[in-house]
Structure 1
Amino acid sequence: MTADKGGHAMRVISGTRKGQPLKAVPGTNTRPTTDKVKESIFNRIGPYFASGRGLDLYAGSGGLGIEAISRGLEHMIFIDSSRQALQTLRSNLKACRFEDQSEVYKNDSHRALKALAKRHAAFDVIFLDPPYASQKLAQEIELFLEYELLNPGCLIVCEHDANVQLPAKIKNVVMEHEDKYGDTKVSIFSYLGLQQNNEEE
């Protein structure tokens, strides 16, 4: 099995490709989500999905998005700006036989979101795990709203430095969970949709 730079074996934890080994991106620029954190994330947001579309915006080796497809998500768009990361990601998608359920693009996050808005794309699950040094998570969530990229009930999973405190509410996006794992924090938000005030009784 492949190990990340911390020596952890990387694999698909559950679902249709349970146990499938995954390659890590070579070098130290990409920080893979450990299996322990990945399992905790999916226990919060799933653990399984009946269908849905996802976005992995800082995909790296694709571990989070691939796990989501394995657990029932129909389609996932993977985006990363690193050519080396995308090579590893494509290799992992091929090993899992998920090429038909995925799209892979080389782009930075802002340009990618503009392109997705032009396609009128909308998502049910979004993973945001940017490099710790360049995290603008609250601003990116605002962009999702501005570009209308969120389906009602969309879950946004933010993995970030434990010292970062994200707002409890960003317009109609509300933090549901906040979990700390060593120097990593995972904040999970859900999108209430535009009509939530009308629907409340």
Structure 2
Amino acid sequence: MRVVAGEFGGRKLKTLPGKTTRPTTDKVKGAMFNMTGPYFSSGNVLDLFAGSGSLAIEAVSRGMDQAFLVEKNFRAMAIIKENVAMTKEEASFHLMQMPANKAIQQLIDKDITFDLILLDPPYAEQEIIKQLTALAQAGLVAPEAIVICETDKDIELPERIEQFIQRKRQLYGLSAVTIYDWEAE
């Protein structure tokens, strides 16, 4: 696995061995970012299920200013720390070792909004609708924010969640990638 494009493009990333995490393949990661940009001029990214940190690192590599990476697994967080160190831009990354729902509550106090939100939860623990609703109601979503969700291909997310409007859904093998755009009131 590697960073596909941008400032850190081509650098190798480590992953946690075994089935604890399910890393997004380089092909799917490249497709995700091609559907949303593929580059950013600035902004904040939230990765609620960081795994190896690959998606958030890719987002910063492609122009996001800072990333908040949430991961509850201790061993996965150790891999994230190694991958972030590889960038030599550690100040751009904020690591939060805790469950996603707890992180959402803690972020409310940080006076921050997110331009890109990444949700690639373990398929058995999927609460995407609940989590996007919580982010919206907490005021953590920037105007014109984009959400990228990776789910099992059999999961059909709704066309609308709060003010998030589904833009596209694409299948990649056993996975589905669903893109939402924030529709400001």
Coarse TM-score class (shorter-chain normalised): over 0.9
Q: 1:140 aligns with which of 131, 153, 162?
A: 131
Map 1:4-43 → 2, pairs under 5 A: 10-43=1-34
* Percent identity of equivalent pairs: 36
Q: Which residue of 2 aligns with 1:180?
A: 171
Unaligned regions of 5+ residues in structure 2, if any? none
Q: SS in structure 2 opposite 1:174?
A: strand
User: How far, CA to CA, are the matches of 1:113 and 1:120 in structure 2?
Assistant: 12
Structure-1 residue corresponding to 2:52: 61
In structure 2, the partner of 1:197 is: none
- Displacement of 1:15 in angstroms is 0.5
Q: Which amino acid aligns with 1:128?
A: L
The reply on whether 1:149 has 2:140 as its aligned counterpart is: yes
Deviation at residue 146 of structure 1 after TM alignment: 1.0
Greater relative contact order (Cα < 8 A, sep 6+) = 2
The reply on whether 1:122 has 2:118 as its aligned counterpart is no
> What is the one-letter code of the residue matched to 1:100?
A
2:67 maps to a residue whose letter is M
In the aligned structure 2, how far is the partner of 1:171 from the partner of 1:146?
9
Give the match for residue 76 of structure 2.
85
Deviation at 1:143, TM superposition (A): 0.6
Listed one character per residue, the Cα deviations across residues 166-194 of structure 1 (whole Å, up to 9, x for unaligned) are 00011211001100011100001011112
Quick one: which amino acid aligns to residue 73 of structure 2?
Answer: S
Over the aligned positions, Cα root-mean-square deviation in angstroms equals 0.8
Q: What is the TM-score normalised by the length of structure 2?
A: 0.98
Q: 1:76-105 CA deviation, whole Å, 9 max, x = no partner?
A: 000100010110001001011120111001
Which has the greater radius of gyration?
Answer: 1
- TM-score normalised over the length of structure 1: 0.90
Aligned residues: 185
Counterpart amino acid of residue 12 in structure 2: P
Hey, what's the Cα distance between the residues in 2 that align with 1:125 and 1:107? 20
